[in-house]
Structure 1
Amino acid sequence: MLDLHVWGAAFGLPSIDPECLAIITFLHHAAPSSAWRLIPSNDPSISPSHLLPALHHDGVWTSGYHQIVGYLTSKSICRDLDADLDAGQQADSVAYSAYLSAHAAPLIDLSLYVSAANWAATTRPAYSSLLAFPLTWTAPPLIRAEAIKRVEHLGLAELDTDFDPNGGLHLSAGRDVLPETFRRHLPAARTKKTVRDEMTPEQAVAIRLFSLAEDCLSVLDALIGKGKSDEKRPRFFAAPSVSSLDCLAYGYLALMLKPPVPRSFLRDWLQTETPRLSNCVDDMAPGPLPWATPEQTTIIGSGTRVADSIIRNAPSLGAYFANEMRQRTEDGVKGLDQRALMLAMSLMVTGAAVGYGLHMYKSLQPFGARTQLWTAQRGGPKLSQFGQLGSMLSSAMGTYAPQLVPSGGVVGNMSAGYGRLVEVDSEVD
C-alpha cells in the first residue's frame, strides 16, 4: 500500500501545494485507487526530509514530485505515464518540468504569499483551516517568509505591504508599510496624491507582473499548441494519455486559476490570453480520491512541532535553528551528535547564567537610592508606632506599668485590690 502524505485541500482543490497537486494527479492516472491512500497530514516533519509531498512505501520515505515519480517508475509500482513518449519528447518533458519549477513556482509565490491582500484574504485563512491551534499562529508566517525569500531576486517587494520598508527586501515607504485594510481608516494626507499613490501594490508593479506571467504562460501555451492535441482536452504531447509534465503543469496552473484571490492577475491572464491552459486545468482535475484519515498526533509530537515553529519564528535564533536542522537533514544525522550535545549544553549554561543574573539584578536596590532598614521595636510604648505624634503622646502620658500587688493581704496602708492615684503635671512642647 502506498501512503501519500500531502498538504490538505483548499480552494476546491485536493491540496494547497502545487507539487502535492501534481503527484495526486499522477497517481490518479497511473495507479488504481485501491493501491494507494491519500493522507492530508499537513505536517512536513512526518518525513525525514521535512518536505511534502512524501510517499511512504515498505518503510521507505520519498519526498518531492520528481523523486516520487522516479521511485514509482523505477520500482514498477504503477504505470509509467511517459512510456509512450519518444526520446525527444522525454527530453522536452524534463526541460519543461525544470522550466515550470523555475518560472511558474515564483508566480504562485507572488500571487498567494507575497501579495498582502491575497495572503490576508485567501491564503492565510486556508492554512488556518488546515492546521490546529496554536500552529495557526506560528506555521503560516514561516511558510510565507520562505515564499518571500524564494522570490526576493525578482524585486517585486511592493506587493508585500506588511513589512518594514527598511528591511532591505521591501521597497515601500510611508503609509504603504501598513496593510491596506489599515490604510483605509487613516486620515487622508493633506498633500495631493500622485497617480502612483492611488495605485494598489499590484497596479504599481503591473508591468513586471504581466511580463513574468507572459514569459512563463505563453511558452506553455505554445508547447500545447505544438502538441496538436484536442482543444477541449489539451495536452503537452500528442499522446493518448496524460504525461508527467501534464500532471506537474496542472499543479501549478490550478493554483493560478482556482484560488478566489482579490488581486487575480494570474487568473485574468489565463482566461483572456491563454484559454487553452484554462481548459487544461478543467480537464485534468482528478475525480474521486482515496482519502484516508491521518493518524492522531500525540501530545509530545504536537508539543514538539509547536516548539519548533516558535523557535523558527524567533529573530536571529530562528534562522540559525533552521539552517542547523537543514544541515542535519542533508547529512542524515539523527538524535544527538556531539555538535548538538555541545549546543544544548551551551544553551543550558547560557540560560542558567542569564536567569541567575536577572535574579541578582532584581534583588539590588535602585541605582542612587539609599538603603533604609526598618526594625520593629520590642518592649516600647505602643503609641510610638504612630510616628512623631505617637512618641509625643507617649512621653506626655508616661510609661504604663501595672503595679504588682503581693498576695497575702495589706501592704502599708493599702488594702489588697486597691491602688493609688498619682497626679503628674506635664507640659506638651
Structure 2
Amino acid sequence: MFFDMNTFTTNASIKSYDVCICGAGPAGITIARMLAKAGKTVALLEGGSLEYTEASQNLYHGKSVGLVNWDAVSNCRLRYFGGTSNHWGGRCSFLDNIDFEQRDYFGMPGWPAGSRDEIFKHLDTACSILDLPKNAFRGPSNVKFKGTNFRLSEKEFSPPTRFKSKYLEELQRSDKIDLFINANITNIKLHDNLGSVSIFEVQNYNGGKFPFTAKKFVLASGAIENARLLLNSDKQMKRGVGNQYDMVGRCFMEHFNVELGRFVVEDHKIWEEGVVQLNPTESLMKSRHIGNAVLDFNANMHKESYGRLRKLKDSARDLVCKSEKLTDLSRKLVDFDCNGDGVITSLIEQTPNLESRITLDSEKDMFGMRRVILNWKPNSADNLTIRTLGREVAKELARAGIARVQLADFILDESIKIRDYGHHCHQMGTTRMSVDHKVGVVDI
C-alpha cells in the first residue's frame, strides 16, 4: 500500500507493525521486501517524496570541515524515494577474505560479521536485486596478469538498478508493506527502561505529527543521517540513543580517490579490454599493514583531436610527447594526454578513525532537528596505505614490463603532504558494528 503523509490530518490513526523502517533507499527497500516475503507487516518511511524536492533535500544541508575539497554532507546524498540509487554508477565488486579478519594494526576491532563464505551464501539473491548476471565478477577474459603483490580486480556493473523504477509498483501492490512518503522521523522514543525503541515520532511538511509503533525498528538512512537521528534523539538519553560511550558519529569513512601518478603503457595487450584495475594481494596488505584498494589504470590508447586544426594539434601533441621534459613542462600549463599514457586513480579503504566523525551543529532545520557537522579526517595509517600502494604498484608494473609509472611527489617524499583526497560518495561508519559496546554502536 502507498500513503502520502502530507494528506494525513493530525488525528489520523496509524496501525502498529511488525517492523518499522526509516529510509526508503536500497537498504530500506530490500529489508522491507525480504521481511514481507517472510510474512511480516512493514511500515517503510521515506522523508522525501517520489521525486526530488528542494524542501526535502534542504534537510540534508550541514557543514563539512576537515577535508573540505568536497561537501559530503550536502552532496552525494539524495533525499527521495530510491535514495542514492537514483544516481548510482552501478559498480559492484567482491569483498575479500581479509575484509572479515581482525586486523589489529588498524588499532580497533574489525567487522564481527562472520566469514566471507557466510555472506556469499546470499550472492545469487544480491545479483537478482541489482540485475547482475549469474556469471558476474569474472576477471578480464583475455588478460593474464602475473603479479606477486597485485591481482586483477573482479568487478561487475549493474545497469545500474534504480530502485524506484524497479520496486515502486511492487511496494504499492503489497499487502504486507505500507510505504509512506513525506514521513520525516524527528525523534526515537524509547521504552521507560531505555532498553529498546517504542515509537518513531514522524512529521509531515504541514505540521502534522504521528507516532509509529512496531515490534522492531530499523534505521536505514545512510551513515550521516543515521548518526544525526540518533544524536538528535536526546530527550531520554542525554548524549542520544546508543551513544553511552560517545561512539555514535565516530569513524566516518569514505573510499579515498587519490591520483597516485601517471603511467605509460609498454605491453599494449593487457589494455585491450579497456581500463585495468588492480587490487593488492592479501599478503601485501598483511606484511605492510595497509588497507585494501582498487587502483585504476585508464590508458589513452587512441587519443584524437577534433576540429579544423586537428592535424596540427595531433602533430604538436606527438612532438611534445616524444620528450619527457617537454611533456612535464607543457603539463604545468595545461593538462593533456599522450597516446598510451594515463592517470592512476584509486578507490582506497579508509581505516577507522575516532576523530573522523559526525557531530551536531546549533543550527536547526524546519523540524527543529540540529544539522550535522562532518569532520572527515585521514590518519597516518591511511597515508601509509596510499604511499605503499603507489610505490609497490610502480615496482610491480615495471617488473612485469607492463607500464612505466611516474609517481606523484607526495608518494615518494613523505615530507610533502598528500594532496586532494578525492571521494567516491561511499559513506560508511558512524554506527560501528562491534561485539564490544565500548567501541561500537550496534552488535551482530
TM class by shorter chain equals under 0.3
| TM score, norm. by length of structure 1 | 0.21
Structure with bigger gyration radius: 1
> Higher strand fraction: Structure 1 or Structure 2?
2
Structure with higher RCO (Cα < 8 A, 6+ apart): 2
> Higher helix fraction: Structure 1 or Structure 2?
1
| TM score, norm. by length of structure 2 | 0.20
